[in-house]
Amino acid sequence: MSKVHFSGIGGTAMIGGAYIAKALGHEVRGSDNPLYPPTSLLTKMLNVPIYEGYDSKNLGWNPDYVIIGNALSRGNKEVEAVLNNNIPYYSLPEWLKQNVLFHRKNIVVTGTHGKTTTTSLIAWILKYAGYDPGFLIGGFPINFEIPAYLGQKGSYFVIEGDEYDTAFFDKRAKFLHYLPHILVVTSLEYDHSDIYNNLDEIEKAFRMLLRITPSKGLVVLCQDNHANVLKEHCYCPYQLYGTSEGSHWRVKTEIKYEDNKMRVYIYYKNKELCVINTNLFGMHNALNILSAVAVTHSIGVSINDIIQGIEGFKGIKRRQEVFLEVDSRIFVDDFAHHPTAIYETIKALKAKYPDKYLVAIFEPRSNTTVTNIFQNEIAESLLIADEIWLTPIYREEKIPEERRLDKQAIIQFHNNRGKVSKWAENFDEIFNYITTDLKKNAVVVFMSNGACGNLRERIINYYR
């Protein structure tokens, strides 16, 4: 077995990869900047040496090779040490391809939205049904202790396929390394403006993925969005799912909210297949469930196991995650950072809590939302909340002024439509509002792909 060093081990996929490397029998160490929950908890459970900060000295244990995380680039001390000392190195996707995926039937879940939930649902259904799948998930499903598992050689391996680039030395989409046997495309929208110039470039990456999907494989495409165009580029059978007539798999558009559950009616070839009661909410989650049903049904999982697996699925951390209920107030954490995801998250919460006053707090943090590319769409997506707060823009000083998100324009857009909308100068302002002026009957949702000023932890500590 080899000695493997993970530079940037704190990334969700990287820590998952470290667990898989250890399960393969490798000696593992890693390094990263200071880590915080939940990643810090996962690295502690891994029980291997983790160096804080990046330094050439961290490689003094003479690893056989280094896996370099997507977040690292030239100038990083460990990157420079690897290159200067001719130490073998890989990206995580390439390493997974060579060491795991060539030996599995891979279920690759891709798309702009819904990847983490759909990947987790499929992995959980298969585990519930006794298939012992391996998996690597880019989030933290509550049903699993860790978001990665090796599984048995020859078994299914369920992996979240990201279209973001692989590493500083490999600018291809990560998912091009993942050797799909079954491929899911949940949606296709423009995102990652630091990588792609337009939607056509993103679509091209997905078409390249279809080229490596074997003719004996299966592609599962959402009929309701731009992903539908990919059916013309499939080299293997495909199935369509969605709310649209003509889909192989269809979910009834009327969703009943009863006993804090969502009831989803699943149709296959225009015949009702099953009814599922789930803890998940919103049409976007109904579609995630539908795609998971399509995949697991195609494998041969019984309908009973599919239903019971989904009904026992507890959700994902930071996906409509209720982290605190106190004094008739409900606090929710969500990863939404694309306008469509923001809108669907708020819409689902409005349906789940129809009598509550919904406060949406959005942190512009991703490489796209800190710019004005989606400015109008962000303003529109937040409009259905009762009250809206925009936090400070992440690393605002590094964004050219002409490209920077104009928060004041968004606030004015909301105010002109009679909405309470505010721009916080700092996170203390939001914390003080929540702890002193927040209405009693409120639901507060924090939406960010980052820490959102650690407001979650601060609020939990305040109410302890």
Q: What is the model's pLDDT at position 401?
A: 85
Q: What is the model's pLDDT at position 407?
A: 87
Can you read off the two tokens belonging to residue 350? 């409005």
Q: What is the model's pLDDT at position 352?
A: 86
Record the pTM: 0.89
Q: What is the pLDDT along the chain (464 residues), one digit of tens a residue?
A: 899 999 999 988 999 999 999 999 999 999 999 887 778 888 889 999 999 999 999 999 999 999 999 999 999 999 999 999 999 999 999 999 999 999 999 999 999 889 999 999 999 999 999 999 999 999 889 999 899 999 988 899 999 999 989 999 999 999 999 999 999 999 988 887 778 889 899 999 999 999 999 999 999 999 988 888 999 999 999 999 999 888 999 998 555 666 778 899 999 999 999 999 998 888 889 999 999 999 999 999 999 999 999 999 998 888 889 999 998 999 999 988 889 889 989 988 998 898 899 999 999 998 888 888 888 999 999 999 999 999 998 888 888 888 898 889 998 989 999 999 999 999 999 999 999 999 999 999 999 988 899 999 999 999 88
Q: So what's the architecture of 321-463 in CATH?
A: Alpha-Beta Complex (3.90)
Q: What is the model's pLDDT at position 315?
A: 86
Q: What separation in angstroms does the CA of 58 have from each of 8, 21, 45, 50, 81?
A: 12, 18, 20, 9, 10
Q: So what's the architecture of 100-311 in CATH?
A: 3-Layer(aba) Sandwich (3.40)
Q: Hey, is 248 helix, strand or coil?
A: coil
Q: What is the model's pLDDT at position 117?
A: 94
Q: Which residue in this structure is represented by tokens 């003719």? A: 215
Q: What is the model's pLDDT at position 113?
A: 87
Q: What is the model's pLDDT at position 304?
A: 97
- Please say whether the beta carbons of 183 and 108 come within 8 A: yes
Domain spans of the chain, in order of start: 3-91, 100-311, 321-463
Q: Which residues contact 396 (CB under 8 A, 6 or more apart)?
A: 370, 404
Query: How many other C-beta atoms lie within 10 A of the C-beta of residue 172?
Result: 16
Q: Which fold has domain 3-91?
A: Rossmann fold (3.40.50)
